[in-house]
Every structure is written in structure tokens, then in C-alpha cells.
Amino acid sequence: MLSLGLALVATPVFAQADKVVARVDGIAITEREISLATEDLGERLAQLPDERKRDEVINYLVDLKLGARAAAAAKTADAPDFAARLAYFREKVLLDQYLTAEAKKAATPEAARKLYDETTKAMAPEEEVNARHILVEEEAQAKAVAERLKKGEDFAKVAAELSKDPGSGKEGGSLGWFTKDRMVPEFADVAFKLNKGQVSDPVKSQFGWHVIKLEDKRSKPLPDFATVKPQIDQYLERKAQQDIIVALREKAKVERLDQPAAPATPAPAPAETKKP
């Protein structure tokens, strides 16, 4: 009864995959072929809007069917290298399918969670700061900015008025949260030494002169599991595929007949016996 039940469930799935959706000169094009062609075309389809993709795939399959029929009539399959090409691509598809299937087995939710827990546990807390800055060209301008701020002017308003930074200037000088390695050393060294709410003296960098205000400090939060799970799954799948290939090679005997055999290593000469 179990096998019959499975057959009853599976039949509509296969029927849907084999559903004929188009014909060209009587040659059928099925949903299964559309699925395979969609996977094969990859980046070519990525450039198209979603509503055009299916038509593009069907048009491609029409050309493929017509071209294949013409090639068969021209006895292309009788060419000397056709069988070799067919064998090569058969092995390639076999390997791709095998690696894909085995990789999916490795990227289980349990394996992904374990890797996430192990990785985040080993990560040292990283400090980051939230800061604003005002960028000007000359030191004298930076000193004038610092004086205005000391007199109580609002940092964000002065930044919007004077900052030459095209990105942060319109945002009141806000740079958001960042780690030390994301800024040039001269800027980062000062920003990370400030206390919350403190404004720096003018700081010179390759971009000009900065006046920096520290908004806040914190330990950089770790990415949550759901956010990084796609990258973890990808890593697990690639690692599984690499491990499979390495294991297969280790068990195999590889002979290079297109290269001369390596010369035999000569036996070491016997040590000379010293006379007493």
C-alpha cells in the first residue's frame, strides 16, 4: 500500500513536469525542458524582466529543436568527434548532478547552526563607533568650525552648511556605525579615542581637515543566524563538493602518459669508512 500511495502522489508531479506547453513543427516542448533551459541560460535571463523570461526560454527551445533537427538531417552526429563530445558532456552533467545532490545533504539546518555557533563563539568582540564629521579643505577653516562648535552651535547644522563630504554632509555629517579598519588611520585613531558626545580638535587626513564628534560606542553586534544562513549553506555545499573530489583523487591511481617518467632517485652512496 505504501508504494501505491507514493505512486499516486508522484504521478501528478511527473505529469506536470512532462506537460507539453508548446510545439514547433509538431515537436513538443515540455515544462521539464523549460526548467532545464532556465537553469542553463542563467545570467542571460537575469538581465530580463520576469514577465519576459518564460517567452525567452520557449523561444530558445524552439530554436534548439529546429537547430537539432537540422543538425540530425545533416548527419552531424556522424562527425568523428561527436561521440567524444557527447561522452564528455555526459560525464560533466553526471558529476554536476552528483556533487549538487551530495552537497545538499551536507548543508543541513543542524550543520549550518553548528557552524554558526562555533564561528561566532570564536569571534572576538569588535568595537565600533557612531560618529559625525565636518570636512573642510584648510586648517584655518577647521579651527573656525571647532570654535563655532565650542560656542554651542549644533554640529549637524554646521556640517550641513560647511562640510565638503558629499556623502555625509547632507546628513548632518553622520557616518553611522563603523569599525576602525573602515576609516583612514589618522581619522580612526582620533575617533576611537573620543568619549561619547566629545568633539575633536581639527584632524588632517588625505581628504582634508576633519572635526569629529563621537555619538556612541559599542561592541559590534554579531550577525543573526537567519541573515547569514544562505552564506553558511553555500560554504557547506562548496566544502562538501571539494571534500568529495579530494577523496576521490586520494583513492585513485593517476597516470600521466603524456609526460616522461620521473627519473629514479639514485641510491645514496655508501659512507666512506674512515681509517683509524
Question: What's the whole-model pTM score?
Answer: 0.58
> Which contacts of 175-183 are long-range, i.e. CB under 8 A and separated by 24 or more positions?
175/130, 175/131, 175/132, 175/133, 176/130, 177/128, 177/129, 177/130, 177/218, 177/220, 178/128, 178/129, 178/130, 178/131, 179/126, 179/127, 179/128, 179/220, 180/127, 180/128
pLDDT of residue 163: 96
Query: For residue 219, which phi and psi values (nearest 5 degrees)?
Result: -80, 130
Q: What are phi and psi for residue 5, nearest 5 degrees?
A: -65, -40
Beta-carbon contacts of 185 under 8 Å, excluding residues fewer than 6 positions away, are none
pLDDT in tens, the chain (276 residues): 333 343 334 445 445 668 999 999 999 999 999 999 999 998 899 889 989 999 999 999 999 999 999 999 999 999 989 999 999 999 999 999 999 999 999 999 999 999 999 998 888 888 999 999 999 999 999 999 999 999 999 999 999 999 999 989 899 999 999 999 999 999 999 999 999 999 999 999 999 999 999 999 999 888 899 999 999 999 999 999 999 999 999 999 999 888 876 665 554 544 444 433
